[in-house]
Amino acid sequence: MGGKRRSGFRAPGLGPSDAELDSTNARLRECARLGDLQAFVAEGEIILRDMFGGDVAAWESRSPAKMQSIRRLAKRPGAPYQKDALSKRVGVHVAMQKLAFVWRSPTITASHVVEVLRIPHDQRVGMLELAIAEGWSVKRLHAEVVQCRRSRGERRGRRVSPRVRKAISLLRKATQALARVPALLEPGALLDERSRAELATLVSRLSTLQRRVDAAASGISPTARVRKLSSVAAVRLAPPSSSRAASA
Render the burial of 93-112: b for 16+ CB within 10 Å, e for the rest.
bbbbeebeebeebeebbbbb
- pLDDT value of position 74: 94
The reply to whether 102 falls in a domain is no
Tally the domains of the chain: 1
CA 30 to the chain's CA centroid: 26
Show the low-confidence residues of the chain (pLDDT under 70).
1-14, 152-161, 187-189, 217-248
The reply to whether 196 falls in a domain is no
The reply to whether 78 falls in a domain is yes
The reply to whether 187 falls in a domain is no
- pLDDT value of position 167: 80
Show Cβ contacts of residue 60 under 8 Å, excluding neighbours closer than 6 positions.
Answer: 94
- pLDDT value of position 160: 60
Entry pTM:
0.59
Domain span at 14: 1-97
The reply to whether 72 falls in a domain is yes
- pLDDT value of position 18: 92
- pLDDT value of position 14: 64
- pLDDT value of position 63: 77
Rg (CA), the chain: 24
CA-CA distance, 74 to 21, in Å (whole number)?
Answer: 9
CA-CA distance, 141 to 115, in Å (whole number)?
Answer: 7
The reply to whether 155 falls in a domain is no
CA-CA distance, 169 to 175, in Å (whole number)?
Answer: 10
Q: How many CB atoms lie within 10 A of CB 41?
A: 23
The reply to whether 11 falls in a domain is yes
The reply to whether 118 falls in a domain is no
